Amino acid sequence: MRPPRWIPFLALLAAVCLATACRESGIQTDAIAAQAADAASLPNKAGSFKFAVLGDFGVGAKTQYQLADQMATLHDRFTYGTVVLVGDNMYGGERPQDFKAKFEKPYKPLLDAGVKFYASLGNHDAREQRYYKPFNMDGQLYYTFSPTADVRFFALESTYMVPEQVAWLEKELKASSSKWKLVFLHHPLYSSGERHGSDTLLKEALEPLFVKYDVSVVLTGHDHFYERVKPQKDITYFVVGSGGKLRSGNIDRGTGLTAKGFDTDLAFMAAEIDGDQMYFNTISRTGQVVDSGVLAARKPLSP
Amino acid sequence: MPSPDARRLLLVGLLGIVSSGCRDKDVPPPPPATAESPAAAPSTKRVVGPLSDADAKALKTMNDRMKSYLEIHTKLEAGLPELPKDPSPEQIDKNQRLFEQKMRAARASAKRGEIFTPEAETVIKRLLAAVFTTSQGKELMASIMDEYPAGLKLTVNGRYPDAIPVSTVPPEILQTLPKLPEDMEYRFIGRHMILLDTHAHVIADLIENALPKL
């Protein structure tokens, strides 16, 4: 007996529904993610602004070095000039030898190539890091820099959000006419971390400013995995606390926040801003692209 | 002719109408400072409730003690070898530890309560309790207790342990407590609050069980 004709259509419909459900719940297999990555690799255009994001990395362990090797490998074919650090740059001791073992040695190829690292401080970081030249903080706990006319970064100190810092941020965001405003700080306003999760107190203080002044992307760490959060009020939030310490299986899939999560290995993010678009890849310790996509710059709310 | 009592009532009523009209039209004036802050600190913009004269006096005494601490801090820091423009980690570390030694030696006899006087401690505990009785109390506590290093022994004039992360101090608390100069910070270790000299890495003073039990 021949099966009814509608069975293949039903199977197709079920497959489409399943894929949609997986995408919406943020649960993707590595195979699906890898296919998506192939389809949306970085354009690597001449003249675009290329950068990487790294967080919670300074442990000095072999796995940190392996991820650092992946960063150097990528740099060979995708010449980014900036790395943004989202805090917890140094775990444990911060003696001079720690700066060597946990930063200068693993990232030596990048430092030698002239890549500039810009740090924000996490709860494990001593205040003296702001004087450490390779972190380019110029002695400041919070600061801003603009690598190109279209792009401006704002680095915040999220363990001690004094009112002056919030006022400073508002002044700087307001004054900036850059098409791309990206904020980086340690504590995530949104995160599905079972260990830490979203910092709602910080969200109350900062999110209204991000919305009002057209911040497009917020880069954070603290939770030791990678997560791209579904856009919140049109802003894309990333958790990139996967640079050295891994909290395996720590993403709570029930938060409904996750657009894509990766909590089975270390990872860093590479990104490219070209005009109105920002392309990104997230690359694991083994060189797998575990997430990728394209974001659009937010348009100003008011003329 | 209205009686004196009636005139007084009329005057109070008129003042009430005028003041409510002003409130509707104008931006309300900023609340008074929580306490007089050290000269190096910006003025406070928010308070939790009005402070009595006794409270204000207690916080003023605390700030005066802090000023004295800062005088020592500033003097000793100025006497350190000057760091080059781009210091190495060795130079930064050496300078920092030298500063810690000098600071601790200068306050060798320091005791708990010298800056957070008993009177100031009472006011600070009350200010903190007021913040924690809001609907956000549990979130505030969770934020502070995140990565709390249990079993840590705290000593006034001791070095803050290098490998221990610092607590988050939520914006709500920083808006409520008296302002500190840039070199000093409030931090929590469990329910205890310390006054941390961030340059010297020294615990300048502490309040035990500063946070309320929720």
A270-280 tens-digit pLDDT: 999 999 999 99
Q: pLDDT at residue B59 above 50?
A: yes
DSSP B11-64: HHHHHHHHHHHHHHHSPPPPPPPSSPPPTTSPPP---SSPPPHHHHHHHHHHHH
State the Cα–Cα distance between residues A140 and A154, nearest whole angstrom: 12
Nearest to B144 by CA among B201, B190, B176: B190
Give the three-class secondary structure for A12: helix
Percent of chain A residues topping a pLDDT of 70: 86
pLDDT tens per residue, range A94-147: 899 999 999 999 999 999 999 999 999 999 999 999 999 999 999 999 999 999
Q: Which among B67, B99, B65, B66 has a CA at the least distance from the CA of B82?
A: B99
ipTM of model over 0.90: no
Average pLDDT score over residue span A290-298: 96
Taking CB atoms and an 8 Å limit, are A163 and B171 in contact across chains?
A: yes
Q: What mean pLDDT, rounded, does chain A reach?
A: 89
Per CB-CB distance under 8 Å, the chain A contacts of B83 are 131
Q: Is pLDDT above 80 for B68?
A: yes
Q: Which domains does chain A have, with CATH numbers?
A: 29-296 (3.60.21.10)
Summarize the confidence of residues B33-59 as an average pLDDT: 59
- The Cα–Cα gap between A222 and A196 comes to 8
> For chain B, which residues make up each domain, given as ranges?
53-207
**Bridging pattern class, strands A258-262 and A236-240:** unpaired
Task: Find the helix or strand (DSSP H, E) in which B71 lies.
Answer: helix B53-78
Cα B115 to Cα B138: distance, rounded to the nearest angstrom: 29
CB atoms within 10 A of CB B134: 12
Nearest CA in chain A to B144: A159
Min Cα separation A132/chain B (Å): 7
Q: Which residues of A touch B147 (CB under 8 A)?
A: 123
Answer whether residue B121 shows pLDDT above 70: yes
Q: In one letter, which amino acid is B48?
A: V
Q: Dump pLDDT digits (tens) for A209-267.
A: 999 999 999 999 999 999 999 999 999 999 999 999 999 999 999 999 999 999 999 99
Whether the per-residue pLDDT at B12 is higher than 90: the answer is: no
Q: Which amino acid type is present at position A102?
A: K
Q: Please list, in sequence order, all residues whose beta carbon lies within 8 angstroms of the beta carbon of residue A171, skipping any fewer than 6 positions away.
A: none
* B92/A132 touch (CB, cutoff 8 Å), yes or no: yes
- The Cα of B68 is separated from the nearest Cα of chain A by a number of Å equal to 23
Among the partner-chain residues A124, A131, A204, the one whose CB lies closest to the CB of B165 is A124
Report the distance separating Cα B208 and Cα B214, nearest Å.
Answer: 16
- Residue A196 to residues A140, A187, A218, A251, A252, Cα–Cα distance (Å): 26, 9, 17, 10, 11
pLDDT in the model for residue A136: 98
**Higher pLDDT, residue B211 or A6:** B211
Which of A93, A123, A161 is facing B166, going by the closest CB pair? A123
Per-residue pLDDT reduced to its tens digit, B184-206: 999 999 999 999 999 999 999 99
Give dist(CA B48, CA B69) in Å, integer. 26
Contact between residue A195 and residue A165 where contact means Cβ atoms under 8 Å apart: no
Strand, coil or helix: A266: coil
- Contact criterion met (CB below 8 Å) for A53 and A238: yes
User: What pLDDT, in 10s, does the model give residues B132-173?
Assistant: 988 889 999 999 998 887 888 889 999 999 888 999 999 889
Of the candidates B45, B136, B170, the beta carbon closest to that of A163 is on B45
With CA atoms as reference, the chain B residue closest to A94 would be B162
Give the residue numbers in A contacting B (CB under 8 Å), as ranges: 91-96, 98-100, 122-124, 126-128, 131-133, 158-164, 166, 187, 196, 199-202, 204-205
- Nearest-CA neighbor of B55 among B157, B134, B130? B130
